Structure 1
């Protein structure tokens, strides 16, 4: 309810869908009066070629993502990374009962770990390379998670600290991944791509309880599996292009043209 009344529709999305008047009205509502009078004239000078949409098919945008080879080459890695991140994000807190530490305190610390993760992402996202950051944080999460599975008196004492570092790294990787996904895809398919990544995260979380139950029943280290999965899934980040500082595109044709220009060494235009 609050979103409906207080959040505006994206002017960029409205403009791409051909709803120019609504886009101008939205921009006028969020700009100062001194600049709002110039918007109508500015948009009247802009011409664009609207994408062909199959409005009768709710899966038209997903079809576009799969049919375009460059889009599919981006979609598949982010889905794999999302799957690994989701398994750790949802599964790791469920396995806290298997650690040699107070359960209530460990749950509280895990919940608090998400706060600095979000703050770091918010404050440093402008300076972080998306590709390297996702790869680095998933690798760190995997290493710390595997270290949680090591046996011995010393490792047992360090378990909660290693688990918190692993969970913090996974949360940070997840936050950056969502921003990365937004920047990888043009406006016309951005919502669908982000939703698919979110579904991959949830799908990965489905296996978390199974691994935790397997550890209690068969002694299989769930944290070792968590570490291997997120570490291996994070390697798919090397298949993605860097998007830091790149201008966001609105249509598939625009993004495809930019991709070809970069491949030809013509560079990119900053937003």
Structure 2
């Protein structure tokens, strides 16, 4: 970016903020509208935790179980091997040859079973029957059940480039409507799945063609406000996403059956179709696409809502000031070559994706495993979701005071300590274990907000979106792996937490390899980015 172009950009921002206003009724109205897609995105991010949730079950014992088939009768350890967390899900002791003709009600003597001969279940008794595990026979197939979460995250990886294409070509408003319709349609169809293959495929499709809903609303919200309000707008969107996850837990506690839950969550998303008429397009996108008449109408309407009046000369300047986008791909090819030739930038491109992988791995891992905590699974999930919100706003308050590196190092390190401590805290100490778990999740909120800003400040303006997109795309590896951690608890309940803690502590020290960016000018050129020490 040359000096003249840079000065024109600065002048454009000054005039736009002066004439339209950085934040007023125009911005407030549209941000209020895009908060609803953020809530619906929170539903989509975690619904599989409940619709494909693990069901407590055990082997059925025909000679002892009565018609009521109680899940945990007082004779259970006479029949089923004991484990560290209670009793085995998938095996029982074999019958002896001494089978009585009848038993007293509520009894099942140990002498009826051979404790040296353990066999697999023929059928099952459930504590509850409200997820796909019961409907599609997924008992004792934990890895297959966990596949739903992995497919959800893999679909989100597909959604990233699709969302960028739809949003950049057709606009932010169309993008919200398009992805909202897909979320509603696939979510409702999935409620009528006839087998697990259909359910899992639709779980992938749900995020693959609907996962751009949050980013479309997020981009629109941050584009229409002035620079001073962008970090607050970002934190508001993130907080609303977390609120959506908390509402998911609340709704799931009231609507237990998974098919009904899917319909209750996603049928209302069809309301986003109305956004085609009531949501205003981003004036920045309209200007960047040379849609002069639409941009003029939007700017005038926005100014009117903000009780401002744009001068004719300034309006003409705004309509012609944004330089035409360079559509040549040569710059991107040269970019790869320049990164490979630059030791500083190559190291940076290898480390920032690790930060994102760790953050998404821990963030989604803690959310998914929250339903396995002691106590009420729905309350635990709600608390783990809500605790992110103070984390987001803590980052807003401290980033400019103590710096990016200190904030990120502290967030990762404290998160790691909490995860390690949780792994070795007895489940009987429910209050302490819940506190450690919530503090760890709070740290991910601090880290997420800080990491987004830190990544953008490390890279040059011209290629910032490409570098950020690369790091975010690689970060999805963490969210793909996270749903596979609950099955590891079969071997030891602390394995997921130790994995989270290890990744967090290693990444904390990896943060120290990058320069501090607080108070520095954001680099516009590749050379300026290299010179940040």
Normalised by the size of structure 1, how large is the TM-score?
0.74
Structure-2 residue corresponding to 1:233: 507
Structure-2 residue corresponding to 1:7: 282
Deviations 1:68-117 (A, max 9, x none): 32222222222111111111001111112332121100110111112111
| Residue 243 of structure 1: how far off its partner (Å) | 0.3
The higher radius of gyration belongs to 2
| Residue 66 of structure 1: how far off its partner (Å) | 4.0
Structure-1 residue corresponding to 2:130: none
- CA distance in 2 between partners of 1:75 and 1:190 (Å): 12
Structure-1 residue corresponding to 2:345: 71
Structure-2 residue corresponding to 1:163: 437
User: 1:8 and 1:215, CA in 2 relative to 1: closer, same or farther beyond 3 A?
Assistant: farther
| Residue number among 228, 237, 243 corresponding to 2:517 in the alignment | 243
* Matches for 1:89-168 after TM superposition, within 5 Å: 89-152=363-426, 155-168=429-442
Of 138-147 and 210-219, deviating more is: 210-219
Instruction: Report the aligned-residue RMSD.
Output: 3.7
- CA distance in 1 between partners of 2:449 and 2:377 (Å): 26
Contact 2:409 2:509 in 1 (8 A): yes
Secondary structure in 2 matching 1:239: coil
Contact 2:405 2:516 in 1 (8 A): yes
Of 30-39 and 123-132, deviating more is: 30-39
- CA distance in 1 between partners of 2:284 and 2:336 (Å): 21
Structure-2 residue corresponding to 1:269: none
Deviations 1:142-182 (A, max 9, x none): 00011110143664431111101001102211210110001
Of 211-220 and 173-182, deviating more is: 211-220
Structure-2 residue corresponding to 1:222: 496
Structure-1 residue corresponding to 2:357: 83
Gaps of 5+ in 2: 1-172, 177-215, 221-279, 304-308
User: 1:155 and 1:62, CA in 2 relative to 1: closer, same or farther beyond 3 A?
Assistant: farther
Contact 1:141 1:167 in 2 (8 A): yes
| Residue number among 447, 462, 473 corresponding to 1:188 in the alignment | 462
Deviations 1:187-217 (A, max 9, x none): 1111111112212322112221222211135
* Matches for 1:168-179 after TM superposition, within 5 Å: 168-179=442-453
Gaps of 5+ in 1: 45-51, 264-271
Contact 1:149 1:224 in 2 (8 A): yes
Contact 1:65 1:189 in 2 (8 A): no
Q: Which has a greater percent of strand?
A: 2
